[in-house]
Amino acid sequence: MWMYVLALVVLYYVVRWFRELDRVPDRGSKYVYITGCDTGFGNLLARHLDKCGFCVVAACFTEKGEEELKKSCSNRMSTVHLDVTKQECIAKVAAFIKQLVGQKGLWAVVNNAGVSVPSAPCDWLTLDDYKMMLAVNLEGVIGVTLSVLPLIKKARGRVVNVASVFGRISPMGGPYCVSKYGVESFNDSLRLSMRPFGVKVLCIEPGFFKTTVTDGDLILKNTKILWERLPKETKDDYGDNFINKVEALLKEKISKMADGDLMKVVSCMEHAVSAVRPRTRYSPGWDAKFFWLPISYCPSFISDYLFLKDSIKPAKALD
């Protein structure tokens, strides 16, 4: 019996692999708009799609990011300044893209821009901390998408949203998981809304990779800033040694867990953009496939136990 089941599973993956090989034609006439191209996944994807022959519109937050991409890519590459928290900036880029693509429309938008701090226990944070991250990670995704959606409908193209495994499960406090859950919800509702128009909406859910989002030094620096502003009562709840324990945890686990091969994610992004039959969801990273996503399907008492058993305990935690 088990042999038949195994054979069916293998057959399914072989058939899926063959079905997913085909790529869209006429890449040289297809425009792809990518946000967050200064570093990390966005930067690598812009370079990769340029080599694949697409016309890339790379949105960067800094002039340095724009200049470096222009130097290293073909003349098909266009770069623009984009702050996803400012609607006037989003609208300006959308107007530029509309003029650039003409009647062909926009083949794809990849919503990659995102931030990971502030991140801390929920009782360390204020509503403004949540608003700050939601403005980038969620409102930015929605704003950019809606600004170019008519152009994507015209091309019967794609929307690719970069969420996270933490859009499925919340092992840590703070607004990051909240923002990624929001991206997942927006992605699913948009996918259903756009199906009648022939627009494909795809979601990328990476695990831990070595980018600015998982930069231990950045996270620790932010944690210390948040700690210093806490009232004495909250500091007493956690204990004076709590920050040192956080630092040890970041060095011991987070840095080791993060995967340095960013092309695992970029390859999924490229497939979502260029495959004739893209997947609805991609989960790059072994930790995503075999740890985070399976746990997200577990009963809460199991996932809670797994997350809490090795977590840093506050000084006044109940035994």
Residues with catalytic annotation? Answer: 176
Predicted confidence at residue 278, as pLDDT, reads: 96
Tell me, yes or no, whether 275 lies in a domain: yes
**Alpha-carbon span 179 to 118, nearest angstrom:** 12
Number of domains in the chain: 1
User: What tens digit of pLDDT does each residue of 32-60 get?
Assistant: 999 999 999 999 999 999 999 999 999 99
Strands (E), the chain: 31-34, 55-60, 78-81, 108-111, 158-162, 200-204, 281-282
Q: What angle do CA 204, 207, 213 make, to 5 degrees?
A: 90
Tell me, yes or no, whether 94 lies in a domain: yes
Q: Where do we find the tokens 């740890």?
A: 291
Predicted confidence at residue 265, as pLDDT, reads: 96
Phi, psi (rounded to 5 degrees) for 58: -95, 120
Which of 227, 232, 229, 233 has the alpha carbon at shortest distance from 312? Answer: 227
Residue 39: which domain range?
Answer: 26-211+260-290
Tell me, yes or no, whether 312 lies in a domain: no
Residues lower than pLDDT 70 in the chain: 252-256, 319
Tell me, yes or no, whether 255 lies in a domain: no
Tell me, yes or no, whether 74 lies in a domain: yes
- Token readout for 188 is 């699913």
Tell me, yes or no, whether 135 lies in a domain: yes
- Token readout for 264 is 């695992």
Q: Does pTM surpass 0.75?
A: yes
